[in-house]
Structure 1
């Protein structure tokens, strides 16, 4: 069977219909892509190929379910086996009842002696609920219904109390479960007044003692003071002070600076108070924002304490780089163009429905860590959905709708089909992508990133030069901003 493409005229002697679909989609490495296929046809072919691959995957999974030698079948047999063992283990011993008072007294004495013997035996064994202890036979052979019942009780409490699901990732979560299990049935949990009163005070005292135990380490190897200024939902200006040393980061205190202006003199007095409380002989480094008032305050601090060194926050420096890049005329116009597309789509119900239909339920804008990086993350996202947006504005559903005949709808169609905008968007994304990657490394909470920062910045700068080796005029403004910061 011989197939011919109606758009570009290329003919295929073999490979079947699947190879022809790959030609329309433009799968690299398989077949030469079609350069004249419309965006909506390409989008339909992509959805068709994805649907076929998902159907094959489901067929394979169903075959594994019916295969008696598959891993799923073996796992099901093991579950049935352990469930039967659990049912056999649920046998309870029923003591014979007696109406005679002497029999009851003797039974109580025997039970008391047995309890004393058990208490004596328990002294020689590790508690079953401590981490790493040997589990009981009953807990190993416990049927799945009992375990699921317990899990449902925990989940129901979390849902009813609106406890965030990521609370189970706390390192104290399993400790709490073990402590409750060790108390046995009948344990009465602390009430509201105990938790927010005595128990809260007890925990605060423990944390204070824990922080005080670090001062000896600060005296031995030194520490770094970090100042983080931010504004809360009530528009209060707060400055958090943290102490960093090799064992970790400790929150020191938070200062409300709403009632005063954050001048260099005010910040200098505040920093000096923190330095004296920690001990200037224990400090070697101060990290703050790169704002002018912070820089001036830290210069005064270095004059009073010659052993201190100041450096700006790396994440804040990258923020300022992104802010300066955003002020370039070409970047500003491209961001405004993209903002016009996203604002129109998200402010109208039917265009939003169509956009989600053509993108497969995905959004074209995503939140970013800071307001300066948000614009460049949005450009990356909208560029990734270029074909879907073009397919949307050229589809029959859009062209026959009332929105397409409106002046704003016509402007949206022109903006999406504007090839100059997409070329400029691709250029900006290529230039800022290495910097966004560095930003994610610096802003990560998983591990300290200073050991990777300088190498990452050099690598990002070289990557920007490499991508525009033949167009040095385009990359030069970006490099000047990076070098100045």
Structure 2
């Protein structure tokens, strides 16, 4: 209030009526804060009363000092009523505006404040919007356009017009609400007619009795509205298969919901979200009640969200299925074994140490260290490495280039060479639109851009190469491949791709890799599931080792 007192000091102004400007300014500040902070919901009434008690004395003092005692007596009376009960002030403001509101013949929803003034005569000979106007609230003459009407009724400064003395805070709230709604609606896209509305040039066919009985026109219009929602919002078409999407419209169509309006943006992300979360937690309570009798396995893994933020999640797994517990944003934190151990202990304490049977993580060194620390702290809890992650690390070791000093380097280095050649062929074709278009002409299958984080990514890539072998062969022997030139070194790269694709020995190596790695890949697919399969791992492991020992005729070609 110190700032307002300094601004309303008579010694700081040379006007004959120094408090007139201050009163209008206070009205404007109070109205803006009141509209933005208080709103119109019942829950905001205490905040509204407090705002009125703080600001209205300043407004009343400024108005009285300005010499407008007669008008301010009614203003202060209505404001004191609003301070004791905000609902009465709003109701009187609505009644007042209903009395003076006159809808003009050419009413435009974009300019709602024209309804509270009267156009007497148009000024100037141009086509502009300037006119002589009389305010219906204070009967004051105004000369100008809609911007001056807006400045007059909404008490905006800098409009070259005095504010309306009859506009109290409650009236100002109503007027600002109408203007805000008009501004919001004006920003909406143009009302494009639906396909079912027709273009008006053709005469609409009369509906048959069967069409009228089933209300085919209304059904078609609703279908068009739903389709327009998908197109304008960029929603995926798979949303139409969502059972809850279909149930929502079926419930609305079969129920007596005349005048129903879908929930707003804020309601969906606040109260309805909290309601759904509470409901899910209530449904999970029967599963949590079995933890003490059946035991729980805590599963932890790290991943990244679409914003590339590193996250660490924890889940509780029982025979009834997995249950998400929590996730931790690890931005700025080092995922050391001590850090992971601390988060595991917090999760174990949340579930109850007596309910936890084992902790499952991947086989990285930090996770392994954290698992061993958990076993030391809780002797009855076992640490179990993830089978799928362990097998994937084994595949990566097979495909990775070995040290040349290793005695097995001479026999196994060809595996990493074949994998590298396949990646070069894929990148050469996919990194240019023309080459990719040429490939698509010969193949219905697409070249896969396999992420390195996917399990057995090299195996998946080589499997796809074997499926498109014929298409690659037709591509490199076609005249378009020989005639196409776009870079200086294109000939060398194209020749490399052609040599590998037409080399039978290279394809024999690909087949050999897929054959001896098939047992590992099959076990990864069998274990990478939500179904309990720990009791099958030992037998699958023995079968994998036995099936992996297979003769490979390729060794006769290796140096």
Tell me, yes or no, whether TM beats 0.5.
yes
The 1:152–1:270 alpha-carbon spacing in structure 2 relative to 1, beyond 3 Å, is same
* Alignment partner, residue 432 of structure 1: 517
* Alignment partner, residue 295 of structure 1: 368
- Contact 1:319–1:370, Cα closer than 8 Å, also in 2: no
CA separation in 1, counterparts of 2:526 and 2:228? 37
Q: Which of 323, 343, 353 is the equivalent residue of 1:270?
A: 343
CA separation in 2, counterparts of 1:369 and 1:243? 27
Say whether residues 1:217 and 2:290 are aligned partners.
yes
Shift of 1:237: 2.4
Say whether residues 1:285 and 2:358 are aligned partners.
yes
* Alignment partner, residue 208 of structure 1: 281
CA separation in 1, counterparts of 2:333 and 2:441? 52
* Alignment partner, residue 161 of structure 1: 233
Q: Which of 461, 473, 481 is the equivalent residue of 1:390?
A: 473
Shift of 1:145: 7.6
Shift of 1:161: 2.7
The 1:256–1:433 alpha-carbon spacing in structure 2 relative to 1, beyond 3 Å, is same
* Alignment partner, residue 462 of structure 1: 546
* Alignment partner, residue 38 of structure 1: none
Q: For 2:456, what is the secondary structure of its paired residue?
A: helix
Shift of 1:438: 2.7
Higher relative contact order (CA 8 A, sep 6+): 1
CA separation in 1, counterparts of 2:433 and 2:536? 45
Shift of 1:471: 5.4
Shift of 1:464: 3.0
Say whether residues 1:241 and 2:324 are aligned partners.
no
- Contact 1:366–1:381, Cα closer than 8 Å, also in 2: no
TM-score computed with the length of structure 2 as normaliser? 0.54
Shift of 1:309: 1.9
Shift of 1:368: 5.8
- Contact 2:527–2:533, Cα closer than 8 Å, also in 1: yes
Q: Which of 431, 454, 461 is the equivalent residue of 1:347?
A: 431
Shift of 1:226: 0.9
* Alignment partner, residue 381 of structure 2: 308
Shift of 1:405: 8.1
Q: For 1:240, what is the secondary structure of its paired residue?
A: strand
- Contact 1:264–1:297, Cα closer than 8 Å, also in 2: yes
TM-score computed with the length of structure 1 as normaliser? 0.61
* Alignment partner, residue 442 of structure 1: 527
Shift of 1:212: 4.3
- Contact 1:365–1:382, Cα closer than 8 Å, also in 2: no
Q: For 1:362, what is the secondary structure of its paired residue?
A: coil
Shift of 1:276: 0.8
Q: Which of 428, 446, 458 is the equivalent residue of 1:363?
A: 446
* Alignment partner, residue 249 of structure 2: 177
Mark the runs of 5 or more structure 1 residues left unpaired by the alignment: 1-85, 92-141, 475-485
CA separation in 1, counterparts of 2:292 and 2:220? 51
* Alignment partner, residue 130 of structure 2: none
- Contact 1:367–1:374, Cα closer than 8 Å, also in 2: yes
Mean alpha-carbon deviation: is it higher for 263-272 or for 172-181?
Answer: 172-181
Structural mapping, 1:36-435, within 5 Å: 87-88=209-210, 90=212, 142=214, 150-181=222-253, 182-327=255-400, 328-359=412-443, 361-367=444-450, 370-371=453-454, 373-402=456-485, 406-435=491-520
Q: For 1:250, what is the secondary structure of its paired residue?
A: strand
* Alignment partner, residue 61 of structure 1: none
The 1:405–1:205 alpha-carbon spacing in structure 2 relative to 1, beyond 3 Å, is closer
* Alignment partner, residue 72 of structure 1: none
The 1:90–1:395 alpha-carbon spacing in structure 2 relative to 1, beyond 3 Å, is closer
CA separation in 1, counterparts of 2:356 and 2:223? 48
CA separation in 1, counterparts of 2:555 and 2:545? 15
Q: C-alpha deviations, 1:248-304, integer Å up to 9, x for none? A: 221111112233322222222221111111101111121111112212222221222
* Aligned alpha-carbon RMSD (Å): 3.2
Mark the runs of 5 or more structure 2 residues left unpaired by the alignment: 1-207, 401-411
